[in-house]
Structure 1
Amino acid sequence: MSHSSRTSRVAGCTLVVIALGAGVTACSSDGNPLSATPYDAAEQISFNGPTKAGKKADPDKPLEVTAEGSEGRITDVTATDAAGRHVSGELSADGLRWHSTSPLAANAHYTVRVSTEDDDGAPGRRVVTFDTGKPRTTKRLNVTFGPQAGKYGVGQPITADLNQPVKDKAQRAIVERGLKVVSSPVVDGSWHWVDDKKLHYRPKDYWPVNATIQVRSNLDGIKISDRLWGGTAKPLKITTGDRIVAVADGAS
């Protein structure tokens, strides 16, 4: 927002009057402007999403947040959808522009929380919500996890079967980031592409004894390529039993 400030000394504190129809103090009782109640930065911040009720944002386009005028800057932006998925982004060095670096999901509801700071160091806030529309294609990447729910040995891999082939390296990276494997106790592991439509996930060594492993996909509605979007996947939960490892010499 473009606002002019008028200051006066009141009980050792600076009072800043902002042209939003109301005055807010620019410092707290301890005289620190950073601990003041945030002002409404609605007129200071703009974004490239829809501004009319009922309109939906194009999930093909990145999200952009811009500081208007010359009396403030953006300090932080947090964007999440209703499923709790965060949108990665980059803030320019001058604090005047933030843009998303990870794709938006289609048919999703987003909440964007923007933090600002004016020239006097007073903090501002703006919260924006919007919905994204449908993808321009009906081609969806659905995932089927395996094995079936149950108890397995500590060497059991997790499998992910895709209904569409994925060959491009960058697109494969999007798929891998969207397939989540969480074990208790925690162990490190990674996905390996068996072919264009199948992945295996294995721990770095073995699964822990009596572990619980949960698998889910965060790809639903996520753009993978211009003609392919993430689809549905049923989550999976398996457990491990005692550790029994047999070692054989293939040569003999």
Structure 2
Amino acid sequence: MAGFRAMIMVAVLGGATALAGCTATKDAAQSTTSAQAPQENLALTVSPADRASGVPISAEIGIKLGSGTVDGVDVRDAAGQKIAGELRSDASAWVPTAPLKYAQRYTATVTAVGSRTHHESKSVAFTTMKQPSQVEGVGFYLFDGQEYGVGMPIPIEFVRDVPANLRAAVQKRFFVTSDPPQPGAWHWFSPTQVQYRPAAYWQPGTKLTVRLGLKGQALGGGYYGEEDKIARVRIAKDKVEVKVTNHPKQMQVFKNGTLIKTMPVSLGKASTPSSSGHMVVMEQAYTYRFDTRGEPNGGYVVDVNYAQRLTWGGEFIHSAPWSVSDQGYTNVSHGCVNIGPGNAAYLFTVMKVGTPVTVSGTEVKLAPGNGWTVWDMDWPTFLKGSAVPVASDVANAVAYEPYPKPKPSPTVAPSTSPGTAGNAQLGTPTPSAS
């Protein structure tokens, strides 16, 4: 959001009125002067409507202008106390810093200025809704003051489905500020799951402030948001990435683009294969209990150390002392990435929640939404999941490409050696020795 001087570029039409004849009377001259400098009409409209009642406490002060720019917004409660807030970057609305209060009267005054320094103001008074009987919270996976890896998305999870016709209004109440600024967007993976990512990995050291302004926001089924949530977090100063391959069965750890460690792994066996795709660490636990009783191919209970979750389906990187002899050679796990105890402990010193992890070469593809899968689709596909039209600068941002297309092979000139003229076929591979 920008300050009160955010500009809206508009075309202002004006001009002198032509008069018939060569001689003008005094009245005609006065009419000409008036026609040359008409009173500017900024066509300012403000919402909510004047005297509206039952207004949601998540409401913003909507602003429309035919011409000119917003010069100021003043919102006060019934006691005359000024309410803090900011304009959206496109000056389409003024957003209160905190939700309004239930069953309270407010007055909003918007002032606009035109190209001839003409000012126009409009005031509206409105009353907010009573406190609803049905409210619910949302799952928010950023925690104030924490530090995350460069691939950390902003995942939000709802208790019940958000109807399609409400998703745009809900999404508009998510506010993300990054320092330094980076373009990003939201993607609805399901009616209950929406995630945000920047176009490319966060720059190391980025500071993030995220506000979910959902208190009093309609979520569907007669339910409203219970509270606003805010988190101020930091991205780690080093870019750490992890790449796991099935052929060979190994893990590589990169720090700021440099390979710093390689270790053997054992992945999921044929009946319970690991997922191939671009994931991030979702949680870390020094000790984690796997209880698979009642699950297909499960039925066991075991405690593991140095566990790092990759999917909702239960795929982790973790210490597996029982499979050390298989690591690097044979896949024996139930879908997890097995590593030795020493290597597992080492990973806890360099990885964080939000560290990107890519697994490749296995029998199955990562399912969208099975974890924080924002990096497993290209940018245009990701943008299609937004409930709100995406700005052109965001759509055209330089983005991370999870599955880059191979570069075309150089064109080979046809051979002119004796006996082969006319038989060369461009693009046909040369048979290799068996």
Give the TM-score normalised by structure 2.
Answer: 0.34
CA RMSD, Structure 1 to Structure 2 (Å): 4.4
Structure 2 counterpart of 1:152, from 142, 148, 153: 148
Q: Does the 8 Å CA contact 1:215/1:235 hold for their aligned counterparts?
A: yes
CA shift, 1:115, in A, is: 6.5
Query: Residues 127 and 219 (structure 1 numbering): CA distance in 2 closer, same or farther, change over 3 Å?
Result: same
Separation in 1 of the partners of 2:361 and 2:179? Answer: 37
- Aligned with 1:175: secondary structure? helix
Structure 1 counterpart of 2:209, from 179, 199, 214: 214
CA shift, 1:155, in A, is: 0.8
Give the number of the structure whose alpha-carbon radius of gyration is greater.
2
CA shift, 1:86, in A, is: 6.4
Letter aligned with residue 212 of structure 1 = K
Determine which structure has the larger strand proportion and give its number: 1
Q: Deviations over 1:135-155 (max 9, x none)?
A: 5x4222423422323112101
Structure 1 unaligned blocks of 5 or more: 1-8, 15-26, 36-46, 51-55, 64-73, 88-103
Corresponding position of 1:143:
138
Structure 2 counterpart of 1:111, from 98, 102, 108: 108
Separation in 2 of the partners of 1:79 and 1:142? Answer: 31
Query: Residues 209 and 234 (structure 1 numbering): CA distance in 2 closer, same or farther, change over 3 Å?
Result: same
Corresponding position of 2:125:
129
CA shift, 1:243, in A, is: 0.8
CA shift, 1:79, in A, is: 7.5
Letter aligned with residue 141 of structure 2 = G
Q: Deviations over 1:55-108 (max 9, x none)?
A: x71227x99xxxxxxxxxx97899786353769xxxxxxxxxxxxxxxx97736
Separation in 2 of the partners of 1:166 and 1:110? Answer: 34
Separation in 2 of the partners of 1:113 and 1:154? Answer: 41
**Residues 8-19 of structure 1 correspond to what in structure 2 (within 5 A)?**
none
Matched residue count: 180
Letter aligned with residue 123 of structure 2 = V
Separation in 2 of the partners of 1:219 and 1:85? Answer: 17
Determine which structure has the larger helix proportion and give its number: 2
The sequence identity of aligned pairs, in percent, is 21
**Residues 40-59 of structure 1 correspond to what in structure 2 (within 5 A)?**
49-50=50-51, 57-59=53-55
CA shift, 1:212, in A, is: 0.5
Separation in 2 of the partners of 1:229 and 1:190? Answer: 24
Structure 2 unaligned blocks of 5 or more: 1-25, 41-47, 61-65, 76-82, 89-98, 246-359, 363-434
2:204 corresponds to 1:172: no
- Aligned with 1:174: secondary structure? helix
Query: Residues 177 and 201 (structure 1 numbering): CA distance in 2 closer, same or farther, change over 3 Å?
Result: same
